[in-house]
Amino acid sequence: MRNLFTVVAVIVVGLCLAGGSVAWAQEKEKPVADPVSGDWEGTVELPDGAVPFTMKLKLEPQGKVTGEIGSPQGIAPITEGSWVDGKLTIAFIYVDGAAIQMTGAVTNGALGGSLSYGGGQMVVAWAAKKKVDK
């Protein structure tokens, strides 16, 4: 009987330790907060005035960013996107066929950075805030 008690005690202790280490491993691997995914509204500061735009962004595994950019001129899918070390980089083809690249970061809950149009023909500032559902 004493041997049976010892075996049961060892099994119980082993299960408790294994469960604790699994819980610790799961806690250690908690996903990092996602400050990028969602609907965004912003403006691009062009020489002749600010132009509104929208972004629908989704952070995928391994830092890939997908989605679309919309403006009064139309909607374009993101062709390349990444979120690496707190920096957003997205690229898309504008409705006029020009390549656009946007880079930026989140500061105080807002995204902002620079936009390069046509391979650097024009570089301007942009800023966006997450759209609030009403």
Residue 84, C-beta contacts closer than 8 angstroms, at least 6 positions apart:
63
pLDDT value at position 22? 45
For the cut 60, the answer to whether the pLDDT of residue 58 exceeds it is yes
pTM above 0.75, yes or no: no
- Mean pLDDT score, 65-73: 95
Q: End-to-end distance of the chain based on CA atoms, in angstroms?
A: 67
pLDDT value at position 46? 92
Biggest CA-to-CA distance, the chain: 89
- Mean pLDDT score, 77-99: 95
pLDDT tens track for 5-43: 444 444 444 444 445 444 444 445 545 579 999 999 999
